[in-house]
Amino acid sequence: MKIAICGLGRAGKELLRTICDEEDISVVGAFCRLNSDKAGMDIGMLAKLNPMGINAVCVTEAERVLGEEKPDVVIDFSNPAATKMLLMACKKHNIPAVVCTTGFTEDEIAWMKECVYGEDFGIVYAPNVTVGINVLLSMLKSATRGLPYYDYHITEIHHNKKADSPSGTAKKIATLLERELHLEPDEKVPVHSVRAGGFVGVHEIMIVGEHDRITISHESFSRQAFAKGAIEAARFIRGQTGWHEMEDVVTCRENVIKVKV
């Protein structure tokens, strides 16, 4: 599978390192910010690997590079402005994308959905691409069925350089809980955000009744958890069209495991 990457920050570089261990995947393009110092640099060197013979190119060049290199999938860990430019280029060439970038407005998410509607183009929108978080989401669905009258509180903890707050994952958890608990539109599940040191990502949900409490918590120990999930999503969306989320990727994975068993 041929992959192009957008965003060569902490997550993008980890993705590059993880892809190097996957025998059937090759990187054919990589995009950085306009006027970034990384433009023109070998991406292998950027990720502290051996040179890969591929230089980072500004995302403004995405349409040309995708047309020339024809990757099977593009994986995005960048910034909402870059993602928009990238998706327009992907759509032009019908190359599916895994969008792991966070911090989009509701309007931007609606725009992304419109991009795939009725088109020969597919997106996996993955504000948390970690497979473990997506299993946590299904655990929460059963918690809300058993404990609909308990109080639900979300705490998310990330490193002190994270740009958006609350995290995309915390928003996704809150939306799921509000839907499953049938809350009124003005009732919100509280989200507490902590930005400190080098935390990779913690999401903890406290479910509290008068006499007892359950805590469900997920912690990513390394960015490899994101990279592995993004690769799994890329394998899923390759050759597919339409709007998908990680739930679809995880369901597909569960079905494969059932068949194997």
Ligand X SMILES: NC(=O)c1ccc[n+]([C@@H]2O[C@H](COP(=O)([O-])OP(=O)(O)OC[C@H]3O[C@@H](n4cnc5c(N)ncnc54)[C@H](OP(=O)(O)O)[C@@H]3O)[C@@H](O)[C@H]2O)c1
Identify residue 167 by its one-letter amino acid code.
S
**182 catalytically annotated:** no
Q: Is 171 in the site for ligand X (CB under 6 A)?
A: no
Of 36, 5, 31, 32, the closest CA to residue 18 belongs to 5
Is 78 or 207 the residue whose CB approaches ligand X more closely? 78
- The CA distance from 131 to 137, in Å, is 10
The catalytic position among 91, 158, 172, 218 is 158
- The CA distance from 119 to 114, in Å, is 9
According to CB under 6 A, which one of 4, 16, 19, 33 is a site residue for ligand X? Answer: 33
Count CB neighbours of 143 within 10 A. 18
For helices 224-237 and 246-260, angle between their N-to-C axes, nearest 10 degrees:
80
Give the x-and-dash track for 56-95 against ligand X (CB under 6 A).
Answer: ---x-----------------xxx-xx-------------
Q: Is 9 in the site for ligand X (CB under 6 A)?
A: yes
Q: Which stretch binds ligand X (CB under 6 A): 3-11, 138-146, 171-179, 180-188?
A: 3-11
Identify residue 254 by its one-letter amino acid code.
E
Minimum CB–partner distance for residue 20 and ligand X (Å): 17
- The CA distance from 88 to 133, in Å, is 29
Minimum CB–partner distance for residue 219 and ligand X (Å): 13
According to CB under 6 A, which one of 36, 193, 224, 241 is a site residue for ligand X? Answer: 36
| Residue 174, token pair as written in the block | 């809150």
**158 catalytically annotated:** yes
Is 77 or 121 the residue whose CB approaches ligand X more closely? 77
Residues 20 and 48 sit within 8 Å (Cβ to Cβ): no
DSSP-assigned beta bridge partners for residue 98: 75, 124
Q: Is 11 in the site for ligand X (CB under 6 A)?
A: yes
Chain residues 102-131 in contact with ligand X, contact rule CB under 6 A: 102-103, 126-130
- Phi and psi at residue 78, to the nearest 5°: -130, -105
Residues 17 and 32 sit within 8 Å (Cβ to Cβ): no
Q: Is 12 in the site for ligand X (CB under 6 A)?
A: yes
Q: Is 241 in the site for ligand X (CB under 6 A)?
A: no
The position carrying tokens 């609606």 is: 110
Count CB neighbours of 151 within 10 A. 13
Minimum CB–partner distance for residue 45 and ligand X (Å): 14
Q: Which stretch binds ligand X (CB under 6 A): 33-41, 115-123, 134-142, 253-261?
A: 33-41
Q: Which residues are at the interface with ligand X (CB under 6 A)? A: 7-12, 32-33, 36, 38, 59, 77-79, 81-82, 100-103, 126-130, 164, 226
* Active centre residues (catalytic): 158, 162
